[in-house]
Each structure stands twice: as structure tokens, then as C-alpha cells.
């Protein structure tokens, strides 16, 4: 088979599939291009002439004209720009596969317009399927908005030549009738960049228990982490506690809206709300805030034990990075997290029971040998499963599958 021509589409670069696009091109496995917005194209033009631009049909940031269909309108503005750009591209070069982000690459205008197999990456179909903490539910308006997004994703699942989800947990959120056209593959990581920085000498030898995610959110389990810290302190456990992540970052839930309504604007974010609920933990947890990447890597290397009590989610790139760096992690025995761990091999899988978590924390605090064993296995298994050269071959197989699907369907 000749080298396939693959165009990745996303409003943000490198973003979703940026590293994969570059790797396939660099290794000669595929002739790849990345179609993004003009600003991102300009900022990253030094990475190569394969970074191309499309012009959305109007603004894609900020409020759209109608609240209930705002995200659909944004997707339409993106989709209109994408179909224009790809139509022009095809005048110069035949495209075999278009790989589009379901919202930020919006492929729904491409069907029957572009002579190529269309692959849609859908992280999850809707927040209704994804789930949220019942203490922080969406209001009716938010629920109605969510149905429009689900409609967009179901349409893509029907019309795309292939859909890719990042986890089996995400695939299971789709109706069973649509799952036959969905494959599971998480992105790859360039582990050659995962150098181990020299840890900063600690002023104390106290055990360090950490939490790390892009957002300090209910979905990622930050509230559970804070509650566990509070209970550990109540038992007189001496340790350092550190939470890495942005307190004001957008989340996969509705807790920020709850905070604004509950506190009438007097509390800034969900983290600060939890600090009012758990004042002992508030005094004990340090918050470095959003860090530069090298600083983040150094902080990760200094933490003895990570708690990752994920509540809702379909893929957590930060968790894979912690494992790839050899972190010792406790995680829940359900959902997406359970796909990453073999219990008592590369970490521990625990039930939703605070006492079980505290027992495991204290046991690992006193067992440095077992922590090291988990960390070594975590590093090895993460790299075996998610190293970019390995994953790139799997993706190439999926893209060829999409081309076969297109041919079999007579498109």
C-alpha cells in the first residue's frame, strides 16, 4: 500500500494528535498535515510547513448568538472553515483520511463533501453520559445544552467511517447500537521527554502525599483528596500534602456554578469552597498553582504517594504521565482508572471507601520497598502501552480500517 495522506484537524495545535501527526510524518509512516486556526499555525510554523490553516466562519471564542445551541454554532463556524480549506487542499493533493476532533475540528460538514475517509475523535458523547457529582448538578438550561452536543456526537458516530474514543469507559457511554463503529485508543506519549529532574532537597523527611490534575475539580476527585487529608490529620498522621493543578481551570462538571450560586460570588472557585468546608486540610495542603512543565516534573518526582480518586472521566493524560514517570498511585477500582492499573502490580485499585484508602495510604507510607515496586512497574507498563512509536502503529491500523470501511460502504 502506498503511504497514506492524512490530515488532522483541530482548532488548537499541537493539542489533540499534534505529536502523532508529527511522528507519522517524521518516520515516513504517513504523509501528514495538521489543519488548525491561523493563530496556532503562525505560532508553530517553525515545526514545519505541514502545519496549515483554516479560517473559521466567524468567532469561535466567547458567547455565540443563542445559548442553547452555542456550541453547535461554534462547531458550525469551525466546520464551515474546515470544509473550505479541505476542498482547496484536495485540488492539490488527494486525501486518504481526515482525522477530526468532534468539537474543535467539527467534521459534520465533511460527509459527502470530501473524498476521504473521515475519522472522528469523540472524547465522550455528553455530560449526561459522562456523569457529574449529584451535589453539584447542572441546571435545566445546562441539561438542554448538553442534549445538542449529544446529538452532534451521535450524528458523527453514524456518519463517520470510524470513531475513536480514548477508553473503553468512554465507548460504553454510547448507545450499544453505535458501538460497532467505535474503536478505543488513547494518545501516545513521547517518553524521551520524561527526564527525571533532580529533586529539591527537603527541609524535612516527612512523607509527601500528592494530588495532581489539570483542574482541581470534583470529577478528578479533588474533593475526595481533601476529605482524606482531613481524616488523616484527625488521626494525627504527620505528612506533607501538595495538590498540583489550576484552581480556576475549566472542569468536567458543574461545581464552579454551584460555588457562585452558593457563595453569591464571595468565594472564587471550587478549591476555595472546599477550604471553607475542611479548614484543617486548608492549613495543611500546599498549592503550587499552575506550573511550567519542568517545574511540574520536579514536583512529581518529589511526591512519595499520589492519590487519584477519580470520580468521573474517560481519559486522564496527566495520570498516564505520572505512571510513566514512575509514580506510586492509588486509584478507584472502577471507570477509566481501572483500565490503567493491575492491582498490586503498578499501583492499587481501591473501593469507594475512605477507610480502605486510609488503610492503603498508611500501609504504603511504611513500605518504601512496595512503593518502589509499584513505581517501577508503573513506568514499564505505561511505556509499553503508550509509547508514541508503539501507539502510532496502532493508529495507522485504525486509519487503514477507516479507509476499508469507506470502501466497503461504497462511499
How far is the C-alpha of 226 from the C-alpha of 98, rounded, in Å?
43
Range of the domain at 134: 5-188+387-408
Query: 102 with 50, same domain?
Result: yes
Q: Give the pLDDT confidence of 373-407 residue by residue, as tens digits.
A: 999 999 999 999 999 999 999 999 999 999 999 99
Cell numbers 470534583 correspond to 218
120, 46 Cβ separation under 8 angstroms = no
Same-domain pairing of 163 and 86: yes
Q: Which three cell numbers stand for residue 345?
A: 502490580
Per-residue pLDDT reduced to its tens digit, 196-227: 655 455 555 789 999 999 999 999 999 999 99
Residues 80 and 17 in one domain: yes
Count up the domains in the chain and report the number. 2
Task: Give the position of cell 512496595.
Answer: 370
Domain identity same for 273 and 145:
no
pLDDT at position 20 is 96
Instruction: Examine the domain organization and report whether 230 and 272 are in the same domain.
Output: yes
Q: Are residues 215 and 338 in the same domain?
A: yes
Same domain flag for 228 and 371: yes
Do residues 183 and 84 share a domain? yes
pTM attached to this predicted model:
0.93
Q: What does the pLDDT look like over 147-193, one tens digit per residue?
A: 999 999 999 999 999 999 999 999 999 999 999 999 999 999 998 88
Distance CA 294, CA 76 (A): 38
Q: How far apart are CA 226 and CA 238, in angstroms?
A: 15
Same domain, yes or no: 160 and 39:
yes
CATH number (domain holding residue 228): 3.40.50.2000
| 377 or 2, higher pLDDT | 377
Q: Is the pLDDT of residue 5 over 70?
A: yes
Q: Which residues, 6 or more positions from 274, have their beta carbon under 8 angstroms from its beta carbon? A: 222, 223, 226, 281, 282
146 plus 210 within the same structural domain = no
One domain, residues 143 and 246: no
pLDDT in tens, 125-149: 999 999 999 999 999 999 999 999 9
Residues 6+ apart with CB under 8 A from 279: none
Phi and psi (nearest 5°) for 177?
-65, -20
Angle at the Cα of 88 from the Cα atoms of 82 and 91, rounded to 5 degrees: 140
Same domain, 81 and 183: yes
**292-319 pLDDT, tens per residue?**
889 999 999 999 999 999 999 999 889 9
Mean pLDDT across 49-64: 93
The chain-wide mean pLDDT, for the chain, equals 94
Q: Within 10 Å of residue 256's Cβ, how many Cβ atoms?
A: 20
- SS3 call for 33: strand
CB–CB of 192/19 below 8 Å? no
Amino acid at each position: 500500500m502506498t503511504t497514506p495522506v492524512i490530515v488532522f484537524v483541530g482548532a488548537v495545535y499541537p493539542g489533540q494528535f499534534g505529536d502523532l501527526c508529527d511522528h507519522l510524518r517524521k518516520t515516513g509512516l504517513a504523509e501528514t498535515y495538521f489543519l488548525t486556526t491561523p493563530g496556532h499555525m503562525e505560532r508553530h510554523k517553525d515545526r514545519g510547513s505541514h502545519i496549515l490553516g483554516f479560517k473559521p466562519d466567524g468567532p469561535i471564542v466567547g458567547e455565540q448568538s443563542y445559548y442553547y445551541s452555542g456550541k453547535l454554532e461554534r462547531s458550525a463556524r469551525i466546520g464551515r472553515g474546515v470544509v473550505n480549506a479541505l476542498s482547496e487542499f484536495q485540488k492539490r493533493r488527494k486525501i486518504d483520511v481526515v482525522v477530526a476532533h468532534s468539537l474543535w475540528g467539527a467534521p459534520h460538514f465533511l460527509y459527502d463533501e470530501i473524498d476521504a475517509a473521515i475519522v472522528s475523535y469523540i472524547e465522550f458523547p455528553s455530560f449526561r453520559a459522562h456523569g457529574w457529582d449529584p451535589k453539584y448538578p447542572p441546571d435545566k438550561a445546562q441539561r438542554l445544552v448538553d442534549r445538542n452536543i449529544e446529538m452532534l456526537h451521535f450524528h458523527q458516530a453514524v456518519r463517520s467511517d470510524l470513531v475513536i474514543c480514548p477508553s473503553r469507559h468512554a465507548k460504553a457511554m454510547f448507545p450499544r447500537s453505535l458501538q460497532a463503529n467505535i474503536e478505543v485508543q488513547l494518545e501516545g506519549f513521547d517518553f524521551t521527554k520524561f527526564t527525571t529532574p533532580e529533586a529539591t532537597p527537603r527541609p524535612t523527611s516527612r512523607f509527601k502525599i500528592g494530588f495532581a490534575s489539570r483542574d482541581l475539580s470534583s470529577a478528578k476527585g479533588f474533593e475526595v483528596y481533601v476529605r482524606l487529608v482531613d481524616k488523616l490529620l484527625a488521626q494525627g498522621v504527620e505528612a506533607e500534602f501538595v495538590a498540583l493543578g489550576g484552581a480556576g481551570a475549566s472542569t468536567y462538571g458543574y461545581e464552579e456554578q454551584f460555588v457562585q450560586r452558593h457563595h453569591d460570588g464571595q468565594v472564587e472557585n471550587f478549591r476555595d469552597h472546599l477550604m471553607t468546608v475542611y479548614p484543617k486540610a486548608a492549613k495543611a495542603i500546599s498549592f503550587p498553582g499552575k506550573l511550567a512543565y519542568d517545574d511540574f516534573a520536579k514536583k512529581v518526582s518529589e511526591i512519595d504517594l499520589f492519590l487519584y480518586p477519580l470520580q468521573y472521566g474517560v481519559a486522564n493524560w496527566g495520570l498516564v504521565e505520572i505512571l510513566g514517570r514512575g509514580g506510586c498511585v492509588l486509584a478507584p477500582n472502577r471507570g477509566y482508572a481501572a483500565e490503567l492499573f493491575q492491582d498490586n502490580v503498578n499501583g492499587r485499585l481501591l473501593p469507594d471507601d475512605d477507610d480502605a484508602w486510609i488503610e492503603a495510604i498508611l500501609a504504603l507510607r511504611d513500605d518504601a520497598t512496595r512503593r518502589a515496586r509499584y513505581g517501577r512497574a508503573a513506568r514499564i507498563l505505561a511505556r509499553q502501552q503508550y509509547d508514541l512509536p508503539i501507539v502510532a502503529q496502532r493508529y495507522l491500523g485504525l486509519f487503514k480500517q477507516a479507509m476499508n470501511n469507506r470502501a466497503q460502504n461504497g462511499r
